[in-house]
């Protein structure tokens, strides 16, 4: 009888462990969707200037233009083009990188990329 009880407790513990593992997998940077806010600055910078995601992970990007100039957010390889966002406004969009690598996002308002308005998206396999 003691052995039976022990086995049942062990079974419950194992279930708990599996449940915890499943949860941490879903929340801990696996392939769950990720919400990101990227600020566009009149100093011709993005904040943050680097982003990291996994292949197959959907990125829900909100572009927040805190400057007085128009800005946008473009990644050629994934056909991403958000904006142009007028001053003080936001624009949202989603995309899912389908290949690992390092990609440049930039603002294609004339002169902005040339002034340094770029960032790097790293997609991990």
Q: Identify the H or E element spanning 46.
A: strand 45-47
User: Which among 93, 40, 43 is positioned nearest to 65, based on CA atoms?
Assistant: 40
**Residue 9 or residue 87: which is nearer to Cu ion going by CB?**
87
Q: Is 45 in the site for Cu ion (CB under 5 A)?
A: no
Residues in the chain: 125
Residue in 112, 119, 121, 123 binding Cu ion, rule: CB under 5 A? 112
Q: Quick one: which of 38, 51, 109, 123 contacts Cu ion (CB under 5 A)?
A: 109
* Closest to Cu ion by CB, 109 or 121: 109
Region near Cu ion per CB under 5 A, out of 28-36, 53-61, 87-95, 108-116: 108-116
Residues 52-81 within binding reach of Cu ion (CB under 5 A)? 71
Helix H or strand E segment including 22: helix 2-27
Verify binding: residue 107, Cu ion, rule CB under 5 A: yes
Strands (E), 1-125: 34-41, 45-47, 50-54, 59-65, 71-75, 80-85, 90-95, 101-106, 118-124
Q: Indicate the residue among 82 and 112 with the shorter CB distance to Cu ion.
A: 112
- Which tokens sit at 60? 């829900």
Q: What residue is closest to Cu ion based on CB?
A: 107
- Within 10 angstroms of residue 59's Cβ, the number of other Cβ atoms is 22
List interacting residues with Cu ion (CB under 5 A).
71, 107, 109, 112, 117
């Amino acid at each position: 009888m003691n052995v039976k009880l022990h086995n049942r407790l062990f079974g419950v513990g194992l279930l708990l462990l599996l449940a915890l593992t499943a949860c941490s997998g879903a929340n801990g940077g696996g392939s769950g969707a990720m919400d990101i806010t990227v600020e566009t600055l009149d100093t011709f910078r993005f904040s943050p200037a680097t982003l990291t995601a996994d292949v197959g992970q959907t990125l829900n990007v909100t572009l927040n233009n805190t400057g007085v100039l128009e800005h946008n957010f473009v990644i050629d390889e994934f056909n991403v083009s958000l904006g142009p966002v007028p001053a003080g406004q936001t624009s949202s969009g989603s995309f899912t990188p389908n290949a690992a690598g390092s990609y440049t996002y930039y603002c294609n308002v004339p002169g902005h990329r040339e002034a340094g308005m770029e960032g790097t998206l790293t997609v991990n396999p």
